[in-house]
Chain A
Amino acid sequence: MTRAARILLVDDEVSIQRAVGPLLQSRGYEVEIAGTGRDALRIATERRPELIVLDLGLPDIEGTEVCRLIRSESTVPIIVLSARGAEADKVSALDLGADDYVTKPFNPEELLARIRVALRRVFSAEDGEVGRVQCGDLEIDYDRHRVMRADEEIRLTPKEFDLLSLLARNPDRVLTHRAILKAVWGPNAVDQPEHLWVLVGQLRKKLELDPSNPRYLISEPWVGYRLATTPPGTR
């Protein structure tokens, strides 16, 4: 990466723009600001930001619609800002192609961490697909369908491996229940979340040192799951 990543901040509240804008600049990002969905779409096309932080409550266009329109043109990571309790909006934004979300009022460090994760993914994807991935103590070997923890193999069923590798290919990124069900079981299973609960339970028993207090397989209530590359406390 030769220049600072350019981030487009979309929020109609001037106070949020004035607080978050300088915060992002202070971390060396180049910041573009849009107050409406229309401006956001225009800037996204003209300025080609590396990442978009998008508030879902926009005055002119529904945030989820902005999300869909941007995604139809590019693969730029989108981090959605949304209200607590508006889980349905989050899920539909994620299903429409958003990469992650942060709930308002958010901890600035959390937003920055999510931005770093999303940007890392952009640049690592440019490096090409890797055959094995390290996630904390876990080492996932896609080619040989094997998962190791501290040189000890953890035996997984094919479905468990599918789920783990799906999450590991999107490290630290929340995947919606629907997206996981569709990827692991196929489109007919999207309305059967019980499959997922059972499988996550099995996988946690095998992966987690303390399955009731998971460190890798993190549940995002009502939204989905993410695979944490760093322990939750350190984020």
Chain B
Amino acid sequence: MDTPSRSRRAATSDVLHALGSLAAVAAVTVAYTRWLHVGNTTTVALSFLLIVLVAAATSHLWVAALASIVAMISLNFFFLPPVGTLTIVDPQNWVALLSFIAVSLVASNLSSTARARRDEALSRRDEVARLFDLSRDILLLTDSDEAFAPLANLVARRFALDYVGICLPQAGGWRVAEAGSLMLTLDRDQLAPAMAVADGHQTVDAGGHAVELVPLRFGTRAVGLLAVAGRAVEAGTLDALGGIAAIAVERAQFLEERKAAELSRRSEELKSALLASIAHDLRTPLTAIRVAATNLQASWPNDEERREQSALVVAEVERLNRLFQNILEMARIDAGSIGTDLRWVYPSEIVEAAREQVGRALDRHTFAADVESDRLVRVDPRLTASALAHVIENAAHYTPPGRPVEVDAVVAADRLTLSVRDRGPGVPAQDLPHIFERFYRGSAATVRVSGTGMGLSIARGLLAAEHGSISAENCPDGGARFTIVVPAETRAAAAVEQDT
């Protein structure tokens, strides 16, 4: 409810009161002259005085004064001799008139004071309710970083203000969150002195609007300024509002710090997961190489045993190299420093390159590739092959020895689709959303797989560099299928022949 409608309603009620008191005077006059034939002027005067008193008690001064005058005229005309004229013969009549006026003044004064008190109490209650609602809203704000804008909005809404600005000093300026229907530009130079004001508020002018600046105090420390314009708000309420806003600001900053701490904790966790994973994967080949190298130095092995030990060293060095490549690729993905180099290639080249990169991990599986060969695609062959290699390696890890890993490549008008089908246990449903996350390994894996937990996440990172995507699904007849989609230009082989 806003002020104009309330004052309009008060005016209507005053008019009604005036009409009512006039009607009462008329009614008493008619009743006394026509039916009751009361001739005693004292009785009449007392009756009129009662009406004036009621009017003064329930309404404003002008209503009471109007009632007094009408009552006096009526008394004079109808009751005081000479009846029927407005002449005042007897000076006593002046006394009666003055008594009416005096009574109406005193009574209306008393009643208007009482009413003012009541209005004040009501508005206090109203503002306390707003403050309460505001503080509850603030406590419910959970968002930290963007909390200042909602805070300004809440203040504007709860207090029906046209403009609310929350100004926080920042290195080299002010951070201002604004809300409300009124567009104002605060003069930044006026803000700093206002914050230094020890007590009370300042009113400044901004684009023709009076803006109240209230320091936001947290304890004795000012943390910022609250600027409000629009409805007049009591000074005490403004102070309370400033206090609540200050708490909200502190809370938001605290939440922000906590969020930052949380983020850094998560990144620490990721780092230690990385370290644990890498440490485990480094240690095994290093141990094997160290022992095998010592065996090679010793005199006991025969030729056959020497060959075996050196093959072991070579295989483990290859494994270390793969791990090292993975770490490098991951670092490049993290640094966002993967460039793409688009070239026209046959999909079969990509599949072959990937098969080559996987190396010995596929030794114990059968590998079947079904590649559409008559179309060329324009992709980054190195990135695509590397991503495919990681997916094939993953499939090999999870497929029991001797069973097939199948790859097929399909070229559509605007994309290259590569899919890798394994014959492993499939991906448990709860793991599907996570398998492309770094270091995620199946939750219910009964067979420990000596992967780094990096392969699929690297594949996703590499593909993202060329706007490609990767997804996983379980096949109805067992095993999982990973699908890589790379958006690419494609054309028939003959077209390129003409080009070159």
Interface residues of A (CB under 8 A from B): 12-13, 15-16, 18-20, 22-23, 26, 57-60, 83-85, 104-109
Contact = CB atoms under 8 A, between A and B. Distances in A.
A87 to B, nearest CB: 14
Contact of B448 (A23, A59, A105): A59
B450 A13 contact: yes
B292 A19 contact: yes
Interface residues of B, number: 28
Which of A12, A16, A19, A109 has most chain B Cβ within 10 Å?
Answer: A19
Which of B280, B289, B292 has most chain A Cβ within 10 Å?
Answer: B292
A26 B295 CA distance: 9
Nearest to A106: B287
Contact of B280 (A18, A26, A57, A60): A57
B291 A13 contact: no
Contacts of A26: 295, 298, 300-301
Interface string B290-313: 111011001011000100110010
A11 B213 CA distance: 73
Nearest to B288: A15
B453 to A, nearest CB: 14
B279 A19 contact: no
B286 interface: yes
A107 B289 CA distance: 11
Contacts of B280: 57, 83
Contacts of B289: 19, 105
Contacts of A84: 279, 283
A18 B308 contact: yes
A107 B288 contact: no
B285 interface: yes
21 contacts: A15-B284, A15-B312, A15-B315, A16-B288, A16-B291, A18-B288, A18-B292, A19-B309, A20-B291, A23-B294, A26-B298, A58-B448, A60-B446, A83-B279, A83-B283, A85-B279, A104-B286, A107-B290, A107-B294, A108-B290, A109-B294
A104 B298 contact: no
Nearest 9 A/B pairs, CB to CB:
A59-B448, A15-B288, A19-B291, A105-B287, A105-B286, A26-B300, A19-B292, A108-B294, A19-B288
Contacts of B305: 22
A106 B290 contact: yes
Which of A15, A58, A84, A104 has most chain B Cβ within 10 Å?
Answer: A15
A13 B290 contact: no
Contact of A22 (B285, B290, B301): B301
Contacts of A59: 446-448
Given A18-B309, A104-B287, 10 more contacts: A13-B288, A15-B285, A16-B291, A18-B312, A19-B287, A19-B292, A20-B291, A23-B291, A104-B284, A106-B290
B489 interface: no
B316 interface: yes
